[in-house]
Amino acid sequence: MVLLGTEADGPHVVFTLRVDLPGRGTPRGVLRMLAATVARQNCAAVFVAVIGGTRPKFAGSPPKAVRQLIQECGELDVQVRDVLWAAELAKGAEWFRLGGRPESGTLPDPAESPLAAHLAAAGEVTYADREELERMMAPGDPEVLRRRAELVNDRIDEALADDDDLPPYGLEAVELLDRWLAEATRGRPRFTDEDVAEICLALSDPLVRDAAFGFAHHGDPKVAERLWTALLPEVPDPEAAEVAVLLAHTALLTGRHALIGVALDRALRAWPGHQVAVAFRAAVVAGYEPERLASWFAEGTRRAVAELTGFDPTLN
């Protein structure tokens, strides 16, 4: 089920939300939470699209969960303008309106839509479905990852034996990541075992990780997204969780909301209970505005940089 919230005085989409269609026996509170999430975005109206699943027996009535959602939205003064069903988002797929004036047809090729043309002209990468996103973030060659995990552990053991910091660390680690960001401006980076081990050790410092959130705030977030996307399959667990959280953050700034959820799933598989991933997911589920979430990360970056450098420009 996809919800598209629109503004009061026009058809412009201001908010989108994708959830698995609630099944029978879903607590009413879940649907109430979805309606409240839409209302919190100051949406005057919402369109509902049900994609796939069991074909409704007739077009006269939406599924029970959708009817309950409509009622919950109405109680919060959010109008559900239309409910549509489509077998899939593909050329020739059947669609029809659920309830209201009967209307049906087949979908045109999504790849030839005005939106697709705009995204292609802007150099945006689009994905066919959630499964494609998951494949993009899946761990790479198991043998390569095992070898890299051993290399990271060896570096940690050496540092512990010498009672020393993990190299690279502090500003040196931030500069290392910044060099890789510059590499990403020229295309998709390629990593050796040594490269991955250094990056894992750099991101093992929470201050360095928090400073790295700033790459997307103070530069081009699409370049940061390219770096973390290329890196994620190359990094062993649990270190991959840090990269996945960084990727979810860039997706927040670039508006790729579907990417956020998949990246956070990947982070929590790599590191169950990862604090930033857990808090990030809770905020997304609660429907916090992207601008508010982005400001939290920006503040975390400011604090990290201030601690790493000993200088806070906001205090001068």
Q: Please give the angle made by the CA atoms of 275, 27 and 131, to the nearest 5 degrees.
A: 55
Q: Which pLDDT score is estimated for 173? A: 93
Asked if pLDDT for residue 193 goes beyond 80, the answer is yes
- The answer, yes or no, to whether residue 45 has pLDDT greater than 70, is yes
Residue with tokens 């200088």: 311
Residue 309 above 80 pLDDT?
A: yes
Q: pTM of the entire structure? A: 0.71
Beta pairing class for 45-51 and 79-86: parallel
State the pLDDT at residue 303.
94
The confidence score (pLDDT) of residue 131 equals 75
User: Burial code of 102-139, b = ≥16 C-beta within 10 A, e = fewer?
Assistant: eeeeebeeeeeeeeeeeeeeeeeeeeeeeeebeebbeb
Please give the pLDDT value at position 22: 64
| Cα–Cα distance measured from residue 176 to residue 262, given in angstroms and rounded to the nearest whole number | 27
Ranges 2-16, 178-192, 247-261: which has the least confidence: 2-16
Q: Quick check: 277 pLDDT over 80?
A: yes
Among 117-121, 139-143, 185-189, 205-209, which is the least confidently predicted range? Answer: 117-121
Output 117 or 73, whichever has higher pLDDT: 73
Average pLDDT value for residue range 15-24: 72
Question: How many angstroms separate the CA atoms of 288 and 294, rounded?
Answer: 10
